[in-house]
Every structure is written in structure tokens, then in C-alpha cells.
Amino acid sequence: MSGQSRALLALRWRMVRRPGVRVGMLLLLLLALAVLVLGALAAAAVPLDLAVLAGTPGAAELGNMADPTGEVAVLLPTAMLAFLATSMIGPIAAGGSYELLPASQLVAFPVRPRTAVRLSLLLTPLNIAWYLQLVLLTWATAYAIRGPYAPGLPLLVLFSYVLACTGIGQSLAWLVVGFRKRVAGRVVTRLVMVALVVAVVVIAREDLVPGLLDSSPTVKVLGAMLGAAVGQPGVWVGRTVIMVLAAAAGYALTVRAAGWALRRPGDRGSDAHASAPLTRRELRRTPYAQLLSIDRASIWRSAPLRRGLFVLGGLPAAAGLIAGLSWQSIALLPPLVASGAALLFGVNVFCLDGPGSVWIATLPGYPSLALRAKRRMVLEVSGAAVLVVVVLCGLRAGRAPTVTELVCVLGSSVGCVALVSAISMRLSVTRPHRADLQGPRDTPAPPGSMALYSLRLATLTTLLGVLFSLASYSNSIVAPVLITVGTVLFATWSMRRTEREWSRPETRARVVSTVSAG
């Protein structure tokens, strides 16, 4: 690691002033590694079906019915394709890379592109979607790929694939950032997006998914893992070397692309929302409506928020349209979408005001209006994203839902949006951060805090979604109704508690001073 990378890491570490937070971050890192390693060892230790191991007559047929390892292995190429998509879309949504420190704080220092790339790669595991998919792939490989050299060699092949996907995704993201600094590049990227949407629709309508999956290059990766498990170097060594070389080439291309994109000046259109003259908006009739108008404009003027909203609504919807999910699986989507919406700005919602929060705090009016307006923004954004994804995936479900399934999907949507909004408002009041959300790679909180927030939101909402998904298999609506009512009541209690905290002048002063000046 270069001297610049070490210096920036040390600076970021010193900025965490509370010892308890430092200990928590170290424990989280150890926990993440333990989950990956111990989960793989536990999956590999699960005994296979005895008939499959004994080689008795009819063992293959019995194994297909009794042992699920074959089914898991067949799903591995699809899961690896999903990981590739996440590795490419995640950096693009982040504006090219994940930042350890905001670029505005380092503008006076000559940070090399190579340093930015290395730090971005180091922060990649903090993307909760990337990490969870890596965990699932590792566990599934250790469980499904068996042999005398498993799980060590198959996991070596898998990790080389992970490195290749990550390097390629980072390089593609920086190329997109550079191209979009010119009018022609923005036109091309928009045309590519339209073509991708059309392709998704065609694939869904023509049911081309099985054929595309059978011809996917990840099938060869699966073959390499199977060859590695039984000790066939001619099968897996060559493909593993190719993936390692692809990872190295991706890193080199990422450094070149990042340097090119950062040096390339943008035209006026690339920063139109920040530099274009704005006409004075008409005043709203009430102070509450005026605050809502300011917050909506703040969201739309922020480049990372605009990009995040499109990705948040488009990616799960595209996956649902291609896969044709069942209603039980659709009930699992609201937790993912609602949590993603909260991570865009909801976990630090007062950062929408930025330095203007001081001006807003001096205006006459009830203090609760600002809190209500911010809560309304979180509810609107997360609710709209969940609605779009659920409706589009429901159209592709293939049949109308039963009453129980419909109640479960609605309950999952309402419950997750309410729970996410309550957690977001609580974090915004108790854990404010300074964040402008003006740069293309800005985030509402530092990387470590974002990782903790992602874990907290993902754990709670996923558990809630699993409960609704399991309840959809029954013929009674009592369980999902009770879960929904209980979740909404808990969210309401949490929001009331946050309102009482916000009513204290010292709390409002702390939040305003933090989000405005740091």
C-alpha cells in the first residue's frame, strides 16, 4: 500500500475520536471475517446423503431427490452473474469509486488516482450488497462443491472470480464517469440505458432466461470449481490464471481510467444542476409545505441522490422482470428497497439542508415542522421506490395473488417503510454528520458509519421480510396483519420518542451545528 493510502487511512482513523466506536469497528471487521470463514467451514462439514456417497444402484436418482447439493450447484452460475452485476452497478451508482474522505476535503492535496483506486477497492466490502453476495457464494460453494480438495481449491477459484468482477466493475465505472463529462458521452450512456431496459423487457417477454444462463461464462467458472474439487489441474488452473490476469488488467485499467476521468474537464451540462441559474420558486401556502418543497429540490439537485434513486428503483425491478419472482419472493423485496432508500440520505436526513440548516433554524415556526418534513421525505422516497418495484415484479409474477399473499406483500411494504423511516429519523437526530451531497461520490455519513447503518437496516428489515414471506405460505391473514400492526406501532413509538428528543433545544443545536459546520 502506498504512502498516501496509509496516510489517509491513518487520518480517517484519527477522525474517529470515540474509543467505543473504534472498538466496534474492529469487532465488526473480525465478525465479517468470522462469518465468511466459519460459515464456509460449517457448510463444508454438512454430511451428504449417504446413498450418494455409497455409490449404490439408483444412488444418483435418490441423490437428486434427497440431497440438495446438486440444486445449489446448478444455481451457482446465476448467483455469480448477480455478483457480476452488483460489482458493475455498485461503483457506477457511487460515481466511480467509494471515497474514504470527501473530495472537497482533499482538494488542496495532490492525491494520485492510484491512491483513490486502492482506497475504493479497500472500501468495497463495506457495500452490504457486495458483502452479502460474497458470503452466500462462499457458503454455497463450500456446501455444493465436494471432493478431496474441497473447499480450499474451489474457493480459490471463486475468489479469483470475485477479484476479476471487482476490478472490471471499477474500471467500467470510471469510464462511465469520464464519458459523462461531455454531451456526447451523456447521450451515449442514456441510449445504453434505454437499450438495457428494452433488452430486459424482451428477455422477460420471450422467456430467454434459461438459454442465456446455459451459455453464460459463469458455467465455465463452475466447471473450474468442480475440477478443482477433484484435483484436475487441466480444468481449473488455466481458467483461474485467466481470471487473475483479468483482475490485474482491471486494476491497471481502473487506474488509467480514474486518472483520465479526474483530469478531464466537464462541460457546463455535466454540472447543470449545480451551476445553472434557478428561477425563484413560488412560495407555498404553509411553512410545512415550504419546507417540503425545499427538501424535494435538495434531493433532485444532488447528483448522487438522483443516480441512487434510479438505480434503487431500476435494478430490483429489472431482476424481478427477468426472473419472474413468485409472490413469496416479492415479499422479500420491500426490505431491500426500503433499506437502500434510507441509505441514500435518510440515515442523516438533515444533511439535505447543509449550511442552510442554520438559516432554517432561525426562521419563526414550530421546531417540529422541520422534523415532520424530513420524515415525510424519507416516507415518500422509500415508499415510492417500494411501490415501483412491487408493481413491476407483480406484473411478471404470472398469476394473481391470493388474499394471504396480497396481505403479506402489502404488510411487508408498509411495515418495512415505517420501520426504516423510524430508524432513519432516530439516527438523524442522535448521530448527525456533516455531508454536502454535492459531489458525485458523496455519502450522507463516513464509510464506517454507513457500513454499520447498512448492517442494522439490512438485519432488521430482512428479518421482517422473511416473516412475511413465510406467512404467505399459510391460508390465514391473521399472522401478517398482526406483524404489520406490531411493526407500525413500534415505528410510531420510535418516532414519538425521536420527536421528544428533537423538542429539546440542545438537541436541535447539536444537529444544526454538526450538519452545517461539522
- pLDDT, tens digit, 9 for 90 and up, residues 258-269: 888 888 776 554
Alpha-carbon gap, residue 299 to 304, rounded angstroms: 9
Q: Provide the pLDDT for residue 68.
A: 60
Is the C-alpha dihedral spanning 373, 374, 375, 380 positive or negative? positive
pLDDT exceeds cutoff 90 at 2: no
- pLDDT, tens digit, 9 for 90 and up, residues 78-103: 888 888 888 888 788 777 667 777 76
pLDDT exceeds cutoff 90 at 488: yes
pLDDT exceeds cutoff 60 at 412: yes
- pLDDT, tens digit, 9 for 90 and up, residues 182-212: 888 888 888 888 887 787 777 767 667 677 7
Q: Provide the pLDDT for residue 323.
A: 66
On average, the pLDDT of the chain sits at: 81
* Residue with cell string 469520464: 178
Q: Provide the pLDDT for residue 493.
A: 94
Banded pLDDT at 249 (limits 50, 70, 90): very high
Q: Which three cell numbers stand for residue 257?
A: 481510467
Would you call 476 helix, strand, or coil by DSSP?
coil
Q: Provide the pLDDT for residue 65.
A: 35
- pLDDT, tens digit, 9 for 90 and up, residues 103-128: 666 777 788 888 888 888 888 887 77
Which range, of 22-26, 36-40, 176-180, 188-192, averages the lowest pLDDT?
Answer: 22-26
Q: Provide the pLDDT for residue 494.
A: 93
Which pairs from 486-489 meet CB under 8 Å and 24+ separation? 487/414, 487/415, 487/416, 487/418, 487/419, 488/414, 488/415, 488/418
Q: Are 273 and 307 in contact (CB under 8 A)?
A: no
The residue with greater pLDDT, 335 or 208, is: 335
Q: Provide the pLDDT for residue 61.
A: 36
Alpha-carbon gap, residue 495 to 375, rounded angstroms: 9
| 475-498 average pLDDT score | 91
